[in-house]
Amino acid sequence: MKIVRKALDISFKLVEKNKFLSKFKPVLTALDGALFGTDELNTVPHITDYLDIKRYMSFVIIALLPAVAAAVYFWGLRVILVILVSYIAGGVVEVAFAVARKKEIHEGFLVTGLIFPLLLPPSIPLWVVALGVMFGVFFGKEVFGGTGKNIFNPAIVGRIFLTICFPLIMTVGWPKPYIGGLGGFSKFGVDAITAATPLNAFRSENVLASFSDLLFGFSGGCIGEVFRLGIILGGIFLIITRIVNWRIPFSYLASVAIFSLIGNNLAPLKFAPPSFQLLTGGLLFGAMFMATDPVTSPFTKEGKWVGGILLGLLTVLIRALSGYVEGVMFSILLMNAFAPLIDHVVLAVKYKEPKKVTGKLKPTT
Amino acid sequence: MKKKQYTFKGGYRFRRIEGCPRDMLTTQDIPNEVLIPLKQGFGMGVVSLVKEGDIVVAGQIIGRDDSNVSSPVHASVSGVVKEIKLSNYLGHETQIVRISTRKDKADDCKKVKGFTSDWAKLKNEEIESILYLAGVTSLDKSGIPTKFKSSIITPKDVRSIIVPAIGFDVYNLSQELLLGEKRVLDYIEGLRILHAFMPQANIYLALSKTDMQINEKLSEAVSQYGFINIISLEPKYPQGYDEMLVATVLGEKFPFGYYAANLGVIVLNAQTILSVYEAVVKGKPLIERTIAICGPGFNDTPHLKVRIGTPIADILKSYLRTDVSSRIVLENTLVGDKLTDLSLPVTKATSKIIALPENNKREFFSFLRLGVKRDAYSNTFASSVFPFCDKTLDTNIHGELRPCISCNYCEEVCPVQIIPHLLGKYVKNNIIDDSLVRFKIFNCIGCGLCSYVCPSKIPLLELIKEGEKKLAMEGIERSSSILPHFKLKGLKEYKGITTKL
Ligand code: SF4
Ligand code: SF4
C-alpha cells in the first residue's frame, strides 16, 4: 500500500512537470481516487452516507457476474477477450474526452463497457465490438456532455448502430451453447453448429422452447442474455440493495405479460404467450440492467411507471408485428428518447397549482 | 384510549449509531464562571437589569423586557457580575453577562414567587406569571404563550399542543432517563398545568412505536385524562421538526418558513413539560438543564445536568477524546450549528452536544470495504446484513463529487416530497425563476437528508439554500407563496424573531 502511494506521488510529480504528460492527469486522478478514497470533509450536513458512485457502479458489475460467468461457460473463453476489447476501445474514447475536457474520468463507463459485449451475438468479430462500443460511448454519451447528461444508454446506442450497419453479422448464425462438463471453460471459440434462437423459432415455425432451457440458457441468443436465472438473481440483488429502482423492471415485465396475454388471445400465431415472451430474448436482461439505467430513464416515480408500461407495449408489438424478431433494444431506445417528455408531463401535472402543500398523511393502522 | 399511528413519506431512520447517550445522569460541577447570553431560547434579546460589580443570586432575574416578545433571563449561579459584553453567539449579536461564581453559595437558589403544590387553586394569570418569571416560557421552537408576550401568540390562540415523548434524531435524549422513576407523574402534572390555562387546546402525546417500555408507562398514566390524545409515530428523522409533527399528527398543511405557533400549535418537549411542573409546583427557575453528550468523538456519553451558562469547553474537557480531533455540533447531527468558539456557553435551548471525528484520512480501496460499521441509505454495506453492530459517523465526504445520475435517493428520502436533484440542477445552471417556486423550493425544511444520501455527493441542501437566496434577490419572496393560503396568527410579532441559541 505504501509502495503504491509512493509510486502515485512520484507520477503526480512527473505529470506536474511535463507539459505533454500533464494532459493525462485525469487518468492519474481517477486511479488515485479509486485506490485511496477521499480526504474531503463535509460542510453542511456534517455527515454523509458511505455509498459513493464507485461502489454504486461496482454493485451493478457484481450483479452482472453470474451472467458473465455463464457466458464464458456457454460460448467459450473468447468471451473474455470480447469484454476486454470492449473495455479497452471504450476506455480510449472515455479517456480521450476526459483529457480534452480536463475533467475527471467517471465510473459509469465501467458498467457500459461490460453491458455492451453481453448484448452481442457470440460469434461477433472483435473489430465490430471495438467499433460498436466506440460509437456508443461517443454518440451515446460524450456528445451530450458525459455521464449524467446523456439521453440515451450508450450501450444501446452502440448495439443499435451495429444492428443497422451490420445486419448480417448481428442476426445470422446463432451458435449452440456448450452444455455439459467443463462447457466453454476449456474451449476458445464458439460452437460451429448453429441453430435458430427461440424467438426466431417461434416466428418461423411457431414452436415454443421449453422453460428450463430458457431459464438455464440452453438455447441460442446474445452473449449475456441466455442465463436468465442468473439475470433474475442479479436483478433481485440490485433491487434489494436499492441500486435499481423496482418500478421500471416491475412495470416493464408486468406490462409485457399483460399485453402478450391480450395479443396471444387475439392472434396466437403472432403473439407468443406471456411466459414464453418473458423468458426469451433480451427482455430480462434489458429490464433488469438497461431500462433501469437511472440517467436515461424517467426520474419521477410516476414517470417510471409510464416508461415501464410504454416499454412493455413497444416490446410486444415489435416482436409480433415488425420485421425484427426482438424489440427490447428499440423499445428502450425509444423510451430513453421519450423520458424527458414523460418527466415534463408528470411534473406539469404534479406541480400544477403552485401551492399544493405536501407532507401527506398516511395512517398505517 | 385508542392509539393512532401516523407516519409521513420519506425520512430516514438512523439505527444503532455509535456514541448514543447512555442512560446515566451525571451532575456537572458548577463552573467558576458562567456566561449568560441575554437572548436565549425563543424570543428577542432582553435588557440587562444588572451592571458590572453587582452581586447576584442564582435564580435572580438579570434580564427582562416586557415590551418585546421575550422571557426573563436568570443568573444561574450566585456570584458577582464581572462583565457585560456584546458578543457573537453562532451568528447572532447578543449581550453576554459574565458572572464569576461564589462557591460558598453554590446551593443557594432564589425561588419564583407564588409557587404552590396546590396549583389547582391558582388563577390562570398566576400560573402564567410563574412560568414567565421562571423563564420556562422561552423553551422549544416557539415558546409557551402567556399574557406576558412570551410567544408570538396568546394562550387563547393555541388550538393544539404536541408533546413528543420520543426522539427522532440520530442521537436522542433518553426519554427513559427524563421520564424515569417518579418523573412520569410530574410530567402528567406539567401537562395538566398547561391544560389548566389553555383549556381549549388538545394535547397530543406522541409516542414512538418502538419504545415499548416508556410507552406503556405513559399511556397508562394519561389514560384517565380525556384531553390527552395518544399518537404513535415512527422514530425516523426528521419527524421531530415542527413542520413534520404538525403535518403528521394534525394532518394540516404547514406554512413552511413560519412557526407552528402561527397556526396556533405549539410543540413542547419532555424537558419543557417537566420544567413547567418544577416552576409551578417547586418554584424552580430555569437555571439548569439536562443535556446529552453524544457522538463517536467522546470517550463517554452520559447525560449531564448542567447550569445554564456553563462554557462548553468545561464540559468537553472531561469527555472529549484526545486521539482524534472532532467537530463540535449543537442539537442536530446533520444540520446543527458547528461550534468554533468553544468558550460559548450552554443555553436554555441546548440539549445535545455532538462530537463528530474530523476524518481527513484517505483509506485504501475505501469503496470496496465490507462496511459492517458503515451506515448507508442503500443496502450496499454489510451493515444492512448485520444490523446488530453499532455504526460509526465522521465528517468525511466518503466519495468524490460526481454528476447527478438521477438515482432518486434524494427524492425518496425528502420528507416534504420535493425533488431535490431537480431543484439542484436548476440552481446549478442558474435558472432562477418561478419554476423553482412551482417545484416548491420554499417547502424545504433544511433537514439535510438529501445531501446525506446522495451517492454523487452533491451538496443539494446548499444548492437549495442558495436558490432561495437568489430568488429573494430577484424579489420572489417566500411570503408571497405562503401567506395567501393560510390564516396565520401573530404575524406582526413574528418579524425579527430567531430561534437560534
Ligand atoms: S441522490 Fe444525488 S445522484 Fe441521486 S438523484 Fe439525488 S442528486 Fe442525483
Ligand atoms: S430538499 Fe430540503 S426538506 Fe427535502 S431532504 Fe433536502 S433538505 Fe430535507
Whole-angstrom distance, CA of residue A166 vs CA of residue B222: 78
Judgement on whether residues B257 and B122 belong to the same structural domain of the protein: yes
CB contact under 8 A, A56 and B407: yes
Cβ atoms < 10 Å from Cβ of A179: 15
Domain A24-346: give its CATH architecture: Orthogonal Bundle (1.10)
CA of B421 to the centre of ligand 1 (A): 6
Among B236, B252, B282, where does a domain finish?
A: B282
Judgement on whether residues B342 and B406 belong to the same structural domain of the protein: no
Task: Tell me whether residue B383 is in a domain.
Answer: no
Tell me which of B276 and A358 has the higher pLDDT.
Answer: B276
CATH of residue B39: 2.40.50
Grid cell 425579527 is found at B496
pLDDT at B268: 92
pLDDT tens for B30-73 read 888 999 999 888 888 888 899 888 899 888 999 888 888 888 99
Q: Which three cell numbers stand for residue B64?
A: 427582562
Judgement on whether residues B307 and B348 belong to the same structural domain of the protein: yes
pLDDT tens for A73-117 read 988 889 999 999 999 999 999 888 888 887 778 888 889 999 999
pLDDT tens for A128-144 read 999 999 999 999 888 88
Which stretches of B112-180 are DSSP H helices?
124-133, 175-178
pLDDT at A7: 81
- Of A282, A158, A155, nearest to A214 by C-alpha is A282
Sorted by sequence, the CB contacts under 8 Å of residue A7 that are 6+ apart come out as none
pLDDT at A288: 93
Task: Tell me whether residue B390 is in a domain.
Answer: no
- ipTM score over 0.90, yes or no: no
pLDDT tens for B224-267 read 888 888 888 888 888 889 889 998 988 888 888 888 888 889 99
Judgement on whether residues B133 and B232 belong to the same structural domain of the protein: yes
| Cα atoms in the Cβ-side hemisphere of radius 13 Å centred on B310 | 24
Does residue B2 have a pLDDT over 60?
A: no
Provide the pLDDT confidence category of residue A175 given band limits of 50, 70 and 90: confident
Hey, is B328 helix, strand or coil?
strand
Does residue A263 have a pLDDT over 70?
A: yes
pLDDT tens for B368-377 read 888 888 888 9
* Element containing residue B33 per DSSP (H, E): strand B33-37
Does residue B1 have a pLDDT over 60?
A: no
By the 8 A CB rule, do B36 and B96 touch? yes
Judgement on whether residues B179 and B236 belong to the same structural domain of the protein: yes
Question: For atom 3 of ligand 1, which residue has the closest CA?
Answer: B404
CA distance B305 to chain A (A): 26
Question: For atom 4 of ligand 1, which residue has the closest CA?
Answer: B407
pLDDT at B496: 58
Burial class (CB in 10 A: 0-12, 13-18, 19+), B345: buried
Judgement on whether residues B162 and B269 belong to the same structural domain of the protein: yes
| DSSP β-ladder status, B92-101 and B160-164 | unpaired
Which stretches of B278-419 are DSSP H helices?
312-319, 409-413
Q: Which DSSP symbol is given to B203?
A: E
CB contact under 8 A, B402 and A58: no
Burial class (CB in 10 A: 0-12, 13-18, 19+), B135: buried
Whole-angstrom distance, CA of residue B387 vs CA of residue B244: 27
A-proximal residues of B, 330-349, CB under 8 Å: 333-336, 338
Among B45, B73, B105, where does a domain finish?
A: B105
Task: Tell me whether residue B216 is in a domain.
Answer: yes
Judgement on whether residues B226 and B320 belong to the same structural domain of the protein: no
User: For chain B, how many structural domains are there in total?
Assistant: 4
CA distance A299 to chain B (A): 6
Sorted by sequence, the CB contacts under 8 Å of residue B9 that are 6+ apart come out as A359, A360, A362, B415, B417
Judgement on whether residues B162 and B240 belong to the same structural domain of the protein: yes
Helix axes A301-321, A247-266, angle to 10 degrees: 30
Question: For atom 2 of ligand 1, which residue has the closest CA?
Answer: B454
By the 8 A CB rule, do B150 and B143 touch? yes
Ligand 2 binding pocket (C-beta < 6 A) is B 413-416, 418, 420, 444-450, 460-461, 464
Section B464-478 average pLDDT: 88
B314 torsion bin: left (phi>0), alpha (psi -120 to 50), beta (else): alpha
Judgement on whether residues B472 and B412 belong to the same structural domain of the protein: yes
Task: Tell me whether residue B157 is in a domain.
Answer: yes
Among B84, B105, B126, where does a domain finish?
A: B105
Whole-angstrom distance, CA of residue B163 vs CA of residue B206: 6
Judgement on whether residues B409 and B302 belong to the same structural domain of the protein: no
- Of A56, A7, A49, A65, nearest to A31 by C-alpha is A7
By the 8 A CB rule, do B42 and B151 touch? yes
Whole-angstrom distance, CA of residue A213 vs CA of residue A246: 27
Judgement on whether residues B213 and B318 belong to the same structural domain of the protein: no
Section B424-448 average pLDDT: 89
Does residue A308 have a pLDDT over 90?
A: yes
The range of the structural domain enclosing residue B416 comes to: 397-501
Q: Which three cell numbers stand for residue B27?
A: 451532575
Judgement on whether residues B139 and B100 belong to the same structural domain of the protein: no
Provide the pLDDT confidence category of residue B495 given band limits of 50, 70 and 90: low
Section A309-325 average pLDDT: 88
Q: pTM for this one?
A: 0.89
3-state secondary structure B234-299: CCCECCCCHHHHHHHHHCCCCCCCCCHHHHCEEECCHHHHHHHHHHHHHCCCCCEEEEEEECCCEC
